[in-house]
Amino acid sequence: MTDEIKAFIARGAEGAEVAIVEIGGTVGDIESLPFLEAIRQMGLELGRDNVCYVHLTLVPYIASAGEIKTKPTQHSVKELREIGIQADALLCRSDRPIPDEERKKIALFTNVAANAVISVWDADSIYKIPYMLHQQMLDEIVCHKLRILARPADLRSWKRLVEALENPQHEITIAMVGKYVDLTDSYKSLNEALLHAGIHARSKVNIRYVDSEAIERDGAASLSAVDAILVPGGFGARGVEGKIKAIQYARENKVPYLGICLGMQLAVIEYARHEAGLAEANSTEFDPETPQPVVALITEWQNRDGKVERRDASSDMGGTMRLGAQPADIVPGTQVQRIYQGDVVNERHRHRYEVNNYYLPRLEAAGLRVAARTKVEELCELIELPTEGPHAHPWFIGCQFHPEFSSSPRNGHPLFKAFVEAALAYQVRKAGAVQGTQAAAVAAV
């Protein structure tokens, strides 16, 4: 088993100068022992100058005693040393900075250099952690241990990012309409992508989680106070009709809309029902017998390696998804092209069902615009509504892929940045309309 773990790590590190390997779990638990033994062996095989062991430990504060306790860290390091691993640095998690006296105590009883006992206290933003570690020279400790001659870290751009996060100039509210709203970590990647976009727009992004089943039951009036609406991915029929009502509200009231994966498919269904004359439009995922399957399960497609994949309704769900980054051609002159500033989009996928190409001509004739298609099968990857004409909408876009997977705090993501900017513009328009109404009322008086 240890040989296979080492081989797996080596394959993942192929072509890289440095590999960061995380071993989860708790030191001493039987589940993690094979993995710890594998990295112990790697320390011998690669040479200690080529391996740096960084151990994350707990340093709790006992409120009733009013003091920090270092024993959990001491025992955890002791367990590591018993199996042959000597930590080169300790990351000591606590709810407060650990005093120097306690750090020296930890160093003494764990055989770790005092400057390598790093205090990692609770921060109000995860994006403050890199600078926290840099101030305690963790980067230099690791580079020195691995004999890497590196230039001093330049975190000026990172400090500007944190400064923008802490000092927003605007504030918007985005409704995330889904069925997993009681477990908001289900949308963690989306939350972070919106946060990244907010940083670049100098805006605080408030996310209001809206239960799609509540909209299904009570209507979409609860969306009237938000600046944009996002419908994320998901599986299964529960809450679908509520999401469709939310999409209809966004389209008819000109509220910026972003549909991701299922959110795009439902936007197509909504448009088909209410604009294209396909009143029974649906997905075969929710209604296998629908007479108008505008979203359906395709049986054959080519993956990014050129291999032909096949599936049917009875296939294993996890093994028959369209997965990974796949290129698609952007249609010239679309809003999507202006957002991406290019002719090809290459984003990551995780889904089974696709928009049915058979219905696309009818949908396009009714005003829906297909903004990008896959290169081989010509599957619908992006849809939008035009910004001018009888079906105009200032910002209505759906994507079959998951753009949140490629968002980062440094660069954000084009779609999310444009979405946040659209929400800001909508907020301004809405405020102007309210002021106009108030002025008219005063004039009438």
Catalytic residue, candidates 55, 92, 196, 261: 261
Tell me whether strands 353-355 and 292-297 are parallel, antiparallel or unpaired: antiparallel
The pair of three-digit structure tokens given for residue 316, joined into one six-digit string: 């294993």
Sign of CA dihedral 369, 371, 375, 381: negative
Write out the DSSP string of 220-234. Answer: SGGGTT-SEEEE---
User: Dihedral angle at the C-alpha atoms of 424, 428, 429, 434, nearest 10 degrees?
Assistant: 140
CA 73 to chain CA centroid, Å, is: 33
Is 402 tagged catalytic? yes
Is 261 tagged catalytic? yes
All residues at 6 or more sequence positions from 340 whose CB lies less than 8 Å from its CB, including other chains: 330, 414
The pair of three-digit structure tokens given for residue 365, joined into one six-digit string: 């004739």
SS (H, E, C) 195-218: HHHHHHCCEEEEEEEEEHHHHHHH
What does each C-alpha distance from 71 to 64, 92, 105, 115, 144 come to in angstroms?
Answer: 17, 12, 10, 19, 28
All residues at 6 or more sequence positions from 299 whose CB lies less than 8 Å from its CB, including other chains: 310, 311, 312
What does each C-alpha distance from 206 to 1, 129, 195, 203 come to in angstroms?
Answer: 47, 22, 9, 9
- Shortest CA distance to 258 belongs to which of 227, 235, 231, 220? 231
The pair of three-digit structure tokens given for residue 336, joined into one six-digit string: 């999507």
Sign of CA dihedral 329, 333, 339, 340: positive
Buried residues in 237-255 as b, exposed as e (16+ CB within 10 A): eebbbbbbbbbbbbbeebb
The pair of three-digit structure tokens given for residue 135, joined into one six-digit string: 């101030």
DSSP alpha helices (H): ranges in 167-300?
188-200, 212-218, 240-252, 262-274
Catalytic residue, candidates 102, 354, 404, 421: 404
Could you tell me if residue 390 is left (phi over 0), alpha (psi between -120 and 50 degrees) or otherwise beta? alpha
Enumerate the active-site residues: 261, 402, 404
